[in-house]
Amino acid sequence: MLFGVIICLASVILLGMDGRFVSPEEYPKICQARAWLLTTGFTLAYGAMFSKVWRVHRFTTKAKTDPKKKVEPWKLYTMVSGLLSIDLVILLAWQIFDPLQRILETFPLEDPILTSDDIKIRPELEHCESHHNTMWLGIVYGFKGLILVFGLFLAYETRSIKVKQINDSRYVGMSIYNVVVLCLITAPVGMVIASQQDASFAFVALAVIFCCFLSMLLIFVPKVIEVIRHPKDKAESKYNPDSGISKEDEERYQNLVTENEELQRLISQKEEKIRILKQRLVEWEATNKGGEMNGGSNGTNGISMGGIATHQPATSVNSLSGGIQMAGIGGLSGGGGGGGGGGGGSGSGSTNNSLNLQATTSSSQHNTPAATLAITQDTHDHHT
């Protein structure tokens, strides 16, 4: 972070250099140096604060899911290196495809103020611009704006978190607030008053200087005061790149971690039991639904079979009626034969036996009035 602050302060010196100090041939180099120094310095300074507040956020969230897993310090350097590499890609593309050049802007003639000579003064203003200057500025401001917004979000999320291992997280969040506010004010105002050289330089330079010094004061002054007040605590505590942690706090932290693990284990067991009970409930409901469906299908089949059986007696009655009619015809013919001679009686007896057998068979299946009537009629004919 300190290295980034130094680079940002060095860029302020280049912002104040113009044609009085640099030749027109060397001025484009100054323009490119301004962009490189201010961009990389901002990334190194703000990126360090951003990575630190990100570590606080990850430290608090990982403690809930995996207490033993910690954010290693090398990941912070990797994050800053990643942000810096993106800046290098943008700046290299800007310098190769559309480099910054010296643009001389002229203004209308003005009368001199301190002399009455017959002369006119033509003001001139030097700018550092490229052909697609607006596009490149939009890319740089967009990338920095995303980092600022995300850092502001992390600082807001960790505003009430106090981590002993990272005891300056609150001051880092305050520094991020100040950087975001100053950048959001300085960038648009600097673009609006770019044609006013003195006002533009004063506004941008003061914003950069104030932002750098305020961040250093918020982060480093509390540490210096803590070391001055409690020098023995620093000597007795174990070495930690961020801050010291006492043995009591470490034991308390370990106890909390152990208790948290035990509670998580109990919660996992309860969730497993709930899952098993839900599975059993689903199986029980599926079984009941299957039984109801099977009972309904059996009832339907019984009704259908009953309908078929209901139609069967009609067929038997029809066949029985046919048998009765045939028996009646045979009986009449047999009776005529009996009146004529003994051969007729023999025929009547065979017909009666046939009729009785048919009537008995039919009546055993369905005891109907038609069968009774046929038997009675047959008996009467036989006696006659």
Asked if residue 261 belongs to a domain, the reply is no
Phi, psi of 163 (to 5 degrees): -110, 125
Give the pLDDT confidence score for residue 253 in this predicted structure. Answer: 76
246-164-72 Cα angle (round to 5): 100
Question: Burial letters for 101-136: b for 16+ Cβ neighbours within 10 Å, e otherwise?
Answer: ebeeeeeeeeeeeeeeeeeeeeeebbebbbeebeeb
Give the pLDDT confidence score for residue 17 in this predicted structure. Answer: 85
| Tens-digit pLDDT string for the chain (384 aa) | 889 999 999 999 998 888 788 888 888 999 999 999 999 999 999 998 888 888 877 777 765 555 555 557 777 888 899 999 999 999 999 999 999 988 888 888 888 877 777 788 888 888 888 889 889 999 999 999 999 889 888 888 877 666 555 556 778 888 888 888 888 899 889 888 887 888 889 999 999 999 999 989 988 888 888 888 877 654 444 434 444 445 566 677 778 888 888 999 999 999 999 999 999 999 898 888 876 666 555 544 443 443 333 344 433 334 333 443 333 333 333 333 333 333 333 343 434 443 343 433 344 444 444 443 344 444 444 443
Give the pLDDT confidence score for residue 350 in this predicted structure. Answer: 39
Asked if residue 132 belongs to a domain, the reply is yes
Sign of CA dihedral 274, 280, 283, 288: negative
Q: Which residues contact 105 (CB under 8 A, 6 or more apart)?
A: 124, 125, 126, 127, 195
E strand intervals along 254-340:
none
Condensed to tens digits (0 to 9), the pLDDT of residues 47-103 reads: 988 888 888 777 777 655 555 555 577 778 888 999 999 999 999 999 999 999 888
- What is the residue range of 36's domain? 1-112+119-230
**Count of beta carbons in the 10 Å neighbourhood of residue 34:** 18
Asked if residue 13 belongs to a domain, the reply is yes
Indicate the pairing of strand 124-129 with strand 101-106.
antiparallel
Give the pLDDT confidence score for residue 71 in this predicted structure. Answer: 58
Give the pLDDT confidence score for residue 374 in this predicted structure. Answer: 41
Give the pLDDT confidence score for residue 87 in this predicted structure. Answer: 94
User: Half-sphere exposure of residue 44, counting CA atoms within 13 Å on the CB side?
Assistant: 17
At which residue do the structure tokens 């009776």 appear?
Answer: 335
Nearest CA to 177 out of 202, 211, 209 is that of 211
Asked if residue 243 belongs to a domain, the reply is no
Give the pLDDT confidence score for residue 66 in this predicted structure. Answer: 57
Asked if residue 21 belongs to a domain, the reply is yes
Token pair of 176 as six digits: 């991020």
Number of domains in the chain: 1
Threshold 0.85, pTM exceeds: no
Cα separation, 193 vs 212, whole angstroms: 22
Asked if residue 319 belongs to a domain, the reply is no
Cα separation, 192 vs 297, whole angstroms: 84
Cβ–Cβ < 8 Å for 152, 49: no
Condensed to tens digits (0 to 9), the pLDDT of residues 321-339 reads: 344 333 333 333 333 333 3
Nearest CA to 217 out of 247, 179, 181 is that of 179
**Local structure of residue 21 (DSSP, 8 states):** T
**Local structure of residue 282 (DSSP, 8 states):** H
Paired residues of 127 in beta bridges:
103
Give the pLDDT confidence score for residue 213 in this predicted structure. Answer: 93
Cα separation, 208 vs 189, whole angstroms: 14
